[in-house]
Structure 1
Amino acid sequence: MHFSSIFSLLALTQLISASAITFILGAKDKQCYYVFTEKPMTQIGYYFAVQDGGSFDVDYAIKNPRGDIIVNEEKQRQGDFVFSAEYPGEYEFCFSNGMSTFADKIIDFEIKFEKDDTANGAKASMPQQPNTKPLAHVESMQATVDKIDHQLDGLLRTLQYYKTRNNRNQATVKSTESRIYYFSIFEVLLMVGMAFLQITIVQFFFKGSRKQLV
């Protein structure tokens, strides 16, 4: 089995919290993408969805910097997961379309660092002066920002879900239209063939009756 691999390095730092791409995975093809972590036990979230092609499924695997497989799934249509990157270094995400002999797949893929309140720089905070208490309105603003961020993340996931659902419905409609079209052609050809067969049988009977009269 032949795999042509495309390798992309996604260097995610504190300035880049997420990276999203859409790519085409050819039949019998395999593509790998990488994310680099500098700290151990970093929370890495990833999302993928097969938008078009075949049965809307794909195989994927995740390897840690030591080459150990930490996730290995087959025939998955989509996923939205978070795992702990135990070791610092380069993590490999590979997608395989080996089960498909001719159908290409269109895949949305996103990697991001999940927020960690205990990490340095994960959340901004107001400097506190000696012998002063945090202002209530500052805490309220921080809570509001966190709530909005959570709601936006949920909205993004909902939009991704409806995008995937819409693409799959369109692919199903196109497939159904194609089947109806070819079935109609087959039905017309079958009717023409039956008419030709009936004419041939009638002509054969008339020829036989003429021979008997002679």
Structure 2
Amino acid sequence: MNGIITLLYYITAVSATALTFTLSPNEKQCFYAFNTNTNNNIGYYFAVQAGGSFDINYTIKAPNQLIIVQEEKQRQGDYLFNADQIGEYEFCFDNEMSTFAEKVIDFEIKTSEEEEEKNVKANLPNTPKENKAVENMQLSVEKIERKLTFLENSLNYYKTRNNRNQSTVKSTESRIFWFSLFDLILMVAMAAFQVSVVKFFFQGSRKHLV
């Protein structure tokens, strides 16, 4: 069953939209971001948190339906591309290769507007000292922003690793349980078979003596 979810927002400033959603087996979901400026950068991050082999197929299309990115069986991605067209950008996730595995996916869209940054720089005070002070403040803000972005990406990475490790531990525990149960049943069956064989030999010996 294919599903379409519209995550529609106007890209007019620095912004970010994040969500976590579940993708059922044989299902496809699409999200849309509306770009209003040809000078925007769109960054996106996704990670499969649970389900199957932690992989998913995804496609990104421009407003003219031109494929920007198309990947198969990816566990996570963190990319940035230039949105040089006005209109809806389509982000689709496809779980049609899974017949029973449900996937949990973290997805985030980040946008930044180059034109706004140019306007800010153009509107700086004309006084050299003030201009220098404002530039230093901007550099400090940009540095803090980069560190926060790096920290956020690191937290997302560790969150993904933690979820995958927990899933691996649960899968290993389940395998150990069923293997131990099978081993126990096999030992009981072997014991019963050995008792039956010994009993058969003794019964045969008694008949021969009679």
TM-score interval, normalised by the smaller of the two chains: over 0.9
The equivalent residue for 1:128 is 125
Q: Among 169, 184, 201, which residue is 2:197 paired with?
A: 201
Q: Among 167, 170, 176, which residue is 2:166 paired with?
A: 170
Choose between structure 1 and 2: higher helix proportion: 2
CA contact (8 A) 1:60 1:95 kept: yes
Output the TM-score relative to the length of structure 1: 0.91
Runs of at least 5 residues in structure 1 that lack an aligned partner in the other structure: none
Q: Among 166, 188, 192, which residue is 2:188 paired with?
A: 192
Q: Given residue 68 of structure 1, which amino acid in structure 2 is its aligned partner? A: L
User: CA RMSD, aligned part only?
Assistant: 1.8
Label 1:24 to 1:173 Cα distance change in 2 as closer, same or farther (>3 A).
same
**Are 2:157 and 1:141 equivalent residues in the alignment?**
no
The equivalent residue for 1:29 is 27
Distance, in Å, in 2 between the alignment partners of 1:189 and 1:92 is 53
SS at match of 1:120: helix
The equivalent residue for 2:207 is 211
Q: Given residue 194 of structure 1, which amino acid in structure 2 is its aligned partner? A: M
SS at match of 2:175: helix
CA contact (8 A) 1:12 1:18 kept: no
Distance, in Å, in 1 between the alignment partners of 2:43 and 2:13 is 16
Output the TM-score relative to the length of structure 2: 0.92
Identity of aligned residues (%): 54
**Are 2:45 and 1:50 equivalent residues in the alignment?**
no
Displacement of 1:12: 3.5
Distance, in Å, in 1 between the alignment partners of 2:9 and 2:151 is 26
Distance, in Å, in 2 between the alignment partners of 1:188 and 1:128 is 81
Distance, in Å, in 1 between the alignment partners of 2:11 and 2:52 is 36
Runs of at least 5 residues in structure 2 that lack an aligned partner in the other structure: none
Matched pairs, number: 208
- After superposing the two structures, state which structure 1 stretch, 76-85 or 7-16, moved more: 7-16
Distance, in Å, in 2 between the alignment partners of 1:83 and 1:26 is 28
